[in-house]
Amino acid sequence: MLRRSWFVWTVGVLLLVGCGAAPEPVEKTVTGPDWPFQVGGWSAPDGPETYDTETIFQYIDGHAEVYLAYGMERCTSLRYVGPGGDGEIIADLFEVASPADAFGVFSHDRAGEPVAIGNDGVYRHGWLSFWQGPWVGSVYSVDGDDGSKDSVLEIGRALAATLPAGGETPVLVDRLPTDAVDPQSVCFLRSPQILNAHVFVGSDNPFALGPDVEAVAGRLSGGDGRSSIVLVRYPSEQAAADVETRLREAVSDDRPEMLVGRRGDLLAAVVGAVDEARARSLLDVTLGGGS
3-state class (DSSP) for residue 263: strand
Contacts of 200 (CB under 8 A, 6+ apart): 12, 13, 256
In the chain the domains, ranked by start, together with CATH numbers, are 8-161 (3.40.1000), 171-287 (no CATH)
Mean pLDDT, the chain, as a whole number? Answer: 85
- The answer on pLDDT for 12 being more than 70 is no
Question: Which residue has better confidence, 69 or 33?
Answer: 69
**pLDDT(23) > 60:** no
In this predicted model, what pLDDT tens digit does every residue of 191-249 receive, in sequence order?
A: 999 999 999 998 899 999 999 999 999 999 876 668 999 999 999 999 999 999 999 88
Residue 70 neighbours by CB distance under 10 Å: 26
Buried b or exposed e, range 100-123, using 16+ CB within 10 angstroms: bbbbbbbbbbbeeeebebbbbbbb
Tell me: pLDDT of 4 over 50: no
Q: What is the pLDDT of residue 223?
A: 66
Neighbour tally for 41: CB within 10 Å: 14
Q: What is the pLDDT of residue 253?
A: 65
Give the CB-side neighbour count of residue 283, counting CA atoms within 13 A: 21
- How does residue 158 score in pLDDT terms, banded at 50, 70 and 90? very high
Of the pLDDT bands very low, low, confident and very high (cuts 50, 70, 90), residue 145 is: confident
Q: Rounded to an integer, what distance in angstroms lies between the CA atom of residue 26 and that of residue 160? A: 26
C-alpha distance from residue 274 to each of 179, 221, 271 (Å): 16, 11, 8
Q: Please choose, from the candidates 178, 188, 183, the residue with its C-alpha nearest in 3D space to the C-alpha of residue 69.
A: 188
| 113 pLDDT higher than 80 | yes
Distance CA 189, CA 185 (A): 13
Q: Is the pLDDT of residue 16 over 60?
A: no
On whether the CB atoms of residues 9 and 127 are closer than 8 A, the answer is no
pLDDT for the residue 34: 82
pLDDT at 56 over 70: yes
Q: Element (H or E) spanning 241, and its range?
A: helix 237-249
In which band, very low, low, confident or very high, does the pLDDT at 62 lie, cut at 50, 70 and 90? low
